[in-house]
């Protein structure tokens, strides 16, 4: 009897164990997988990115409350998808960019054209649409020319002064490892730009992203370009009322020949940002050296002559190198006087002004310009005393040609005065 009872209890225990085993296995696996969940970090990052995007857009729309009538509604009802939140991180606040059009020298004509044909129609459509439906902002603007001539700086100033939503789109933002995600991100660029319009989408080195389509190109790259063009100028590029979207694609490139023809068609406004002329170089020098102490005998006209073929970036680096020469001399003098002492406690009471000769020392930025011109002409003297005998060579986008006679006469007239 007792033996039969024992067997029954053992049978019940076995049944309970069999029933509990799956539950225990499930709980154990759940606990194990929670510790091995490699996506936890990604989810935390997504939450942080979503919060950062929300704060940035809230700041943007709050700053524009008094600018556009519908910004208050946008701020209250703005809802973003997962991909739009990624793109929202690329939105640039105008207050975060310390560059304005006043900080750009020698490009006054392009700046004025950008204001009249891009900024005003984009941000003030009511002033243009009354007289003609043709007076709308262009769908695309392209800045092209040699490196260092101010294309990216123009884009920075445009972001600061336009008053429109400025999306600085990096190529890496659209590059995803999962098939199809890049297309969804492209779609998010335009959907977010529509929600926040007027908008400017800036793509630096646009030839790398939207270059000419080729037969051997990877399928994913071709799909991204097709998606971009479809949203840019396709069936969804106008609203239900037939009004064009207030979105402008701004591109910058050194290789305009590598951009796809269909992309170039969508960028009707093209601005060549070439190497500066003599007059432009003079303005650049004045702007860069405006807050620098100069020697009374400083010869600006001589530098303008010898800087032919240099870009604005080259001129800035040459000015930086020249401004370092007086500081370097003062530091060396202190080192001789304070041998064995800590120079951080030393005080440089007076630093001399920058001289013309400081631009031509060892390793100076103007050294290459002097060497280049002395190889092509016998009239240039590398000292300031020979400045009036210099020959100026320059080009609109090419350093291998000479300035026009009018520009040479303008520089010489300025030198005489």
Angle, helix 278-288 to helix 405-416, in steps of 10 degrees: 40
H/E run at residue 108? helix 108-114
Cα torsion 99, 104, 107, 111 to 10°: value is 30
Per-residue pLDDT reduced to its tens digit, 57-80: 777 777 765 555 555 555 556 788
User: Do 272 and 144 contact (CB within 8 A), yes or no?
Assistant: yes
The whole-number average pLDDT for the span 342-359 is: 77
**Burial call 364-401: b when 16+ CB within 10 Å, e when fewer:** bbbbebbebbeeeeeebebebeebeebbbbbbeeeeee
Does an H or E element contain 191, and which? Answer: helix 181-195
Q: What is the pLDDT of residue 73?
A: 55
Residue with tokens 């000479």: 402
Alpha carbon 349 to chain centroid, angstroms: 39
- What's the chain's average pLDDT? 77
Q: Is the pLDDT of residue 192 over 80?
A: yes
Given a contact cutoff of 8 angstroms between Cβ atoms, the answer to whether 203 and 170 are in contact is no
Give the pLDDT confidence score for residue 378 in this predicted structure: 40
- Reported pTM: 0.71
**Residue 363: which pLDDT band, with cuts at 50, 70 and 90?**
low
Q: What is the pLDDT of residues 215-257, one digit of tens each?
A: 877 777 888 888 888 888 765 655 555 566 788 999 999 999 9
Secondary structure (3-state) at 139: coil
Contact 107, 212 (CB under 8 A): no
Please compute, for residue 390, the number of CA atoms within 13 A of its CA located in the half-sphere on the CB side. Answer: 34
Domain 278-416: which topology?
Helicase, Ruva Protein; domain 3 (1.10.8)
66-70, 81-85, 163-167, 257-261: least confident range: 66-70
CATH entry, 45-272, from 3.40.640.10, 3.40.718.10, 3.40.50.300, 3.90.1170.50: 3.40.50.300
Contact 369, 310 (CB under 8 A): yes
Count of CB atoms situated within 10 Å of the CB of 319: 22
The three-state secondary structure class of 392 is coil
Residues 363-384, mean pLDDT to the nearest whole number: 50
| pLDDT number for residue 395 | 35
Question: Does 387 score more than 70 pLDDT?
Answer: no
Q: How many angstroms separate the CA atoms of 174 and 181, rounded?
A: 8
The predicted pLDDT at position 197 comes to 83
Q: What is the pLDDT of residue 398?
A: 40
More confident residue, 268 or 387: 268
180-189, 231-240, 336-345: which has the highest mean pLDDT? Answer: 180-189
pLDDT of 397 over the 70 cut: no
The pLDDT of 2-11, averaged and rounded, is: 72
CA angle 322–328–333, rounded 5-degree value: 145
Least confident of 49-58, 81-90, 99-108, 233-242: 233-242
Model confidence at 38: pLDDT above 60:
no
The reported pLDDT for the residue numbered 377 is 41
The confidence score (pLDDT) of residue 237 equals 59
> Does residue 189 sit in helix, strand or coil?
helix
Is residue 98 exposed (0-12), middle (13-18) or buried (19+ Cβ within 10 Å)?
A: exposed
The reported pLDDT for the residue numbered 364 is: 63
Residues of each domain in the chain carrying CATH 1.10.8.60: 278-416
Res 379: pLDDT: 41
The per-residue pLDDT for 348 is 66
Residues of the chain with CATH 3.40.50.300: 45-272
Neighbours of 310 (CB within 10 A): 25
Q: Which of 166, 47, 34 is nearest to 97 (CA)?
A: 166
Q: Is pLDDT of 143 > 90? A: yes
3-state DSSP assignment of residue 145: coil
> Residue 136's closest CA among 229, 232, 246?
246
The span from the CA of 53 to the CA of 59, in Å, is 10
Residue with tokens 């092209």: 144
Q: What is the pLDDT of residue 97?
A: 86
């Amino acid at each position: 009897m007792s033996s039969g009872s024992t067997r029954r209890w053992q049978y019940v225990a076995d049944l309970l164990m069999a029933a509990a085993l799956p539950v225990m296995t499930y709980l154990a696996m759940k606990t194990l997988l929670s510790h091995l969940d490699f996506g936890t970090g990604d989810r935390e990052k997504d939450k942080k990115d979503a919060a950062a995007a929300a704060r940035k857009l809230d700041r943007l729309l709050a700053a524009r409350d008094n600018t556009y009538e519908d910004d208050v509604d946008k701020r209250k009802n703005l809802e973003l998808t997962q991909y739009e939140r990624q793109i929202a991180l690329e939105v640039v606040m105008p207050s975060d960019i310390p560059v304005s059009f006043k900080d750009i020298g020698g490009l006054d004509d392009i700046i004025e054209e950008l204001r009249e044909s891009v900024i005003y129609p984009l941000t003030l459509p009511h002033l243009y649409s009354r007289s003609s439906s043709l007076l709308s902002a262009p769908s695309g603007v392209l800045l092209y020319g040699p490196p260092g001539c101010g294309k990216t700086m123009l884009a920075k100033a445009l972001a600061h002064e336009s008053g429109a939503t400025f999306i600085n789109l990096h190529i890496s933002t659209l590059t995803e490892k999962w098939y199809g995600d890049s297309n969804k991100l492209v779609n998010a660029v335009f959907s977010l730009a529509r929600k926040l319009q007027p908008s400017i989408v800036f793509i630096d080195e646009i030839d790398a992203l939207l270059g000419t389509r080729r037969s051997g190109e990877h399928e994913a790259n071709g799909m991204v370009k097709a998606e971009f063009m479809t949203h840019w100028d396709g069936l969804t590029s106008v609203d239900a009322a037939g009004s064009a979207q207030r979105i402008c694609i701004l591109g910058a490139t050194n290789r305009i020949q590598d951009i796809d023809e269909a992309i170039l068609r969508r960028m009707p406004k093209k601005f060549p940002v070439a190497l500066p002329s003599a007059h432009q170089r003079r303005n650049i020098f004045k702007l860069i050296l405006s807050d620098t102490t100069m020697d009374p005998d400083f010869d600006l006209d001589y530098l303008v002559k010898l800087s032919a073929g240099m870009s604005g970036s080259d001129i800035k680096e040459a000015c930086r190198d020249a401004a370092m020469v007086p500081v370097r001399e003062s530091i060396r003098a202190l080192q001789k006087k304070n041998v064995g002492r800590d120079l951080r406690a030393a005080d440089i009471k007076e630093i001399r002004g920058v001289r013309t000769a400081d631009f031509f020392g060892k390793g100076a930025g103007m050294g290459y310009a002097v060497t280049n011109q002395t190889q092509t002409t016998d009239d240039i003297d590398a000292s300031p005393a020979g400045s009036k005998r210099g020959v100026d060579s320059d080009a609109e986008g090419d350093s291998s040609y000479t300035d026009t006679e009018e520009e040479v006469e303008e520089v010489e007239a300025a030198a005489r005065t």
